[in-house]
Structure 1
Amino acid sequence: MHDRLDPAPLAGQRVSVIGSTGSGKTTFARTLAQRRGIPCVELDALHWGPNWTMPPTDEFRARVAEALSGERWVTDGNYSKVRDVIWGRADTLIWLDYPLPVVFWRLTKRTLRRIVTQEELWGGNRETWRGQFWDRDSLFLFLLRTYRSRRRTFEALIASPEYAHLTVVRLRSPRAADRWLARV
């Protein structure tokens, strides 16, 4: 695992972008896919239905497998229930491993923008003040509960023989990510 600024990892044709909630996975994945001229598969769009409903696990896995059946793609997200499908097929893993204050600030800006503009998300859903700031399912609480453990989990998974085939690019700041993308 290492930070890289050389374009070698982009020789990969199947890229998974991971990171904490609010780190900018979707934006990074879209930018990378656009620059490479390959499809971008947003996992949240395959996962969330109307009223924030989730599909059964087998249905979600089937959706992801079908969406990633092509030879070239970039996807974003950390859904453990499909990790084996994604990482098993991916050749490159890009980890946006930013410090907690950076991610918290990015999540705050994104959430406020979505609430104020009433941006429609997957399945027609929208974020609300109550849902994001006073609900037990708040992404802020989720971030605080999972930040450290998720980093440990990613480190262990990346080091496991099962995923030794992956080229791993660990970017530790938005500036490093921007520099890396600039070379694409």
Structure 2
Amino acid sequence: MNQLKGGIVLNYIIIVLNILLGLLYTPYMLRMLGQNEYGLYSLVASIIAYLTLLDFGFGSAIVRYTAKFINENKQKEQWELNGMFLSVYSIIGVLAIGLGLLLYYNIDWLFESKMTEDDLNQARVMIILLILNLALTFPLSIFGSIITAYQDFIFQRVLNIIRLLLSTGVIVVLLYFGYKAVAMVVVQTLF
């Protein structure tokens, strides 16, 4: 089976897994966390998700120009392109840290009237962990784009499936043993 066909099949497997895990895992997570903890987790995760917009679509540019340079046999240009985007993504990661710290230090002002002190403290911990995750994800995402440009779809999709299954499995076990939203964020950061 070639890379393209294998990648397509594995993409459909990922879509089905996401649907099944969403249908099975979300009610379990809501029951184990409780409404307050789930709401806190969802709020922090959605706020941090806005920072992923700092990608500006550079991942697609990396794929396009790397594939172009591969086709033209321009190895030096590939290295220069990858170095430039690694620098750009590192700067974006630092910017994400800055924006995340701005959010971290203003969490009281933003949510004090709606959250308890315990909720605010949990939100602070989750924000720090998710910002760390995001700051590392930006520079490391260049490698996924390069793998895509080299059309190694099977490797990348298999890693996504393994990550999806392992992270969900670990979170289910942690929730079963009484861990809450902060543990979920730690697992997501590690995976």
For normalisation by structure 1, the TM-score amounts to 0.30
Q: Which has the higher helix share?
A: 2
Q: Normalising to structure 2: TM-score of the pair?
A: 0.29
User: Higher strand proportion, which one?
Assistant: 1
